[in-house]
A and B are shown apart, each in its own frame.
Chain A
Amino acid sequence: KDQVFQPSTVASSEGAVVEIFCNHSVSNAYNFFWYLHFPGCAPRLLVKGSKPSQQGRYNMTYERFSSSLLILQVREADAAVYYCACLRDTGFQKLVFGTGTRLLVSP
């Protein structure tokens, strides 16, 4: 079954580096996508790809079946839900989302 797994909650302190881990069982999936979602707003793509990459404070690690999102110098304003998704690349290509990780940031 095509599934993406990520922890339901991650807690951190301001200024730290936060890691949110994701792995999948999606057939023929080679690309990861990390989205940020503040409730009431549209989810926003942070970083994506099939290799390690960085966009500002957001780093993405890459392994064949897993990826981590690293948020550098985390702030209280980063508290939100982070979604990992994989692109199933078999004919009918489709993004398969995880259930989201709620990031808690303490001062």
Chain B
Amino acid sequence: GAGVSQSPSNKVTEKGKDVELRCDPISGHTALYWYRQRLGQGLEFLIYFQGNSAPDKSGLPSDRFSAERTGESVSTLTIQRTQQEDSAVYLCASTGGGNSYEQYFGPGTRLTVT
């Protein structure tokens, strides 16, 4: 595709429900990152996938958060038993690797937990 896409663009859910957010990286990009941006705050690293290596999960805030990626394709971020403090914009970025390391960001998913 032309760029990184994310779906849905907006998600409103009730507290306690599970949500799944999807990221389609640029075709051929080996690395994929998930970030969270709460209102008025900066980018918060969540998780990083690089090829077939074990992901770097050091940024996941709790065990309610998990992410999967199969090979170098789509990734899903799952938040179980959502809480109001999970409300944020969730951004995905992919990188082609090599010597570039430029991250190409998607437009984000705005999650609102009511």
Residues of A within 8 A of B (CB): 31, 33, 35, 39-45, 48, 81, 83, 85, 87, 92-100
Known pairs A42-B107, A92-B50; A31 contacts B101 (CB<8 A): yes
Q: Which residues of B contact A33 (CB under 8 A)?
A: 101-103
Query: Closest approach, in angstroms, between the C-beta of A64 and any C-beta of chain B?
Result: 18
Residue-by-residue, is B75-114 near A (CB-CB < 8 Å gives 1, otherwise 0)? 0000000000000010101010000011111111000000
Q: Which residues of B contact A42 (CB under 8 A)?
A: 3-4, 91, 104-108
Known pairs A92-B50, A94-B48; A48 contacts B102 (CB<8 A): yes
Q: Report if B43 contacts A (CB, 8 A).
A: yes
Most-contacted residue by chain A among B53, B101, B107 (CB, 10 A) = B101
Cα distance A42–B105 in the bound complex, in angstroms: 5
A-B contact count (CB 8 A): 56
Question: In chain B between 21 and 43, which residues have their CB closer than 8 angstroms to a CB of chain A?
Answer: 33, 35, 41-43
Q: Which residues of B contact A85 (CB under 8 A)?
A: 103
A43 with B91: CB separation less than 8 A? yes
Residues of B within 8 A of A (CB): 3-4, 33, 35, 41-43, 45, 48, 50, 53, 56, 89, 91, 93, 95, 101-108
Q: Which residues of B contact A48 (CB under 8 A)?
A: 102
A45 with B103: CB separation less than 8 A? yes
Cα distance A35–B108 in the bound complex, in angstroms: 15
Query: Closest approach, in angstroms, between the C-beta of A54 and any C-beta of chain B?
Result: 17
16 pairs, CB–CB < 8 Å, chain A vs chain B? A33-B101, A35-B105, A40-B108, A42-B4, A42-B104, A42-B105, A42-B108, A48-B102, A92-B53, A92-B56, A93-B101, A94-B48, A95-B103, A99-B42, A100-B41, A100-B42
